[in-house]
Amino acid sequence: MRAKGTLREFRVIGRKMPTENEPETPLYRMRIFAPDAVVAKSRFWYFLRQLRKFKKTTGEIVSVEEIKERKPLQIKNFGIWLRYDSRSGTHNMYREYRDLTVSGAITQCYRDMGARHRARAHSIQIIRCEPVAASKCRRPLVQQMHDSKIKFPLPCRVQKQGGRLVKANRPGTYFQ
């Protein structure tokens, strides 16, 4: 998968094709984070193949729905449990991100994993993503934002040069 842009959350429901022996097959639902519905379906089959004994050729996708965030203006702390392949093995991880939406947090996670561990999107499997109460957060980077009277200055503001290679005057960093 290429984690292009902001990922979106999809609810994909699929089942094995019914046969004479098994006319009613159970439905399986997955919460997939993908850039679009096409990749979501693909990822659904990727995971389902690993978990159950049917695949795209022997099954069908019943529905693909994009799930919008219920409260997109509420800041939440997301705990993400994931599994990824490093160069020498595969590991589990728990990471925390602060964001407004689940998709935003998952997108942050993919970018962060790429940055910190050079993990490509295809080697990351999101196991679980839940909003976590502030008291249960474990990561200090997230905990430091849990302050009802949070206050900090902007000490060093670096401004882009606007495409210019050379500046006439020495740039300053103190401006609010």
Question: Which tokens belong to 2?
Answer: 């290429």
Per DSSP, the residues of 90-147 read EEEEEEEEEESSHHHHHHHHHHHHHHHH---GGGEEEEEEEEE-GGG---HHHHTT--
Stretch that binds other proteins, among 5-13, 33-41, 55-63, 139-147 (CB under 8 A): 139-147
* Residue 104 CB, nearest approach to other proteins (Å): 8
Residue list 97-136, contact with other proteins (CB under 8 A): 97-100
Task: Candidates 51, 115, 133, 154: give the one binding other proteins (CB under 8 A).
Answer: 154
Residues whose CB is less than 8 angstroms from the CB of residue 73 and which lie 6 or more positions away in sequence, other chains included: 100
Q: Which is nearer to other proteins, 69 or 85 (CB)?
A: 69
Which residue, 105, 111, 117, is CA-closest to 142? 105
Q: Which is nearer to other proteins, 2 or 71 (CB)?
A: 71
Q: Residues touching other proteins: how many (CB under 8 A)?
A: 21
Which residue, 137, 141, 138, 133, is CA-closest to 116? 141
Task: Candidates 23, 26, 140, 153: give the one binding other proteins (CB under 8 A).
Answer: 153
**Interface residue list for other proteins (CB under 8 A):** 73-75, 97-100, 141-142, 145, 148-155, 157, 174, 176
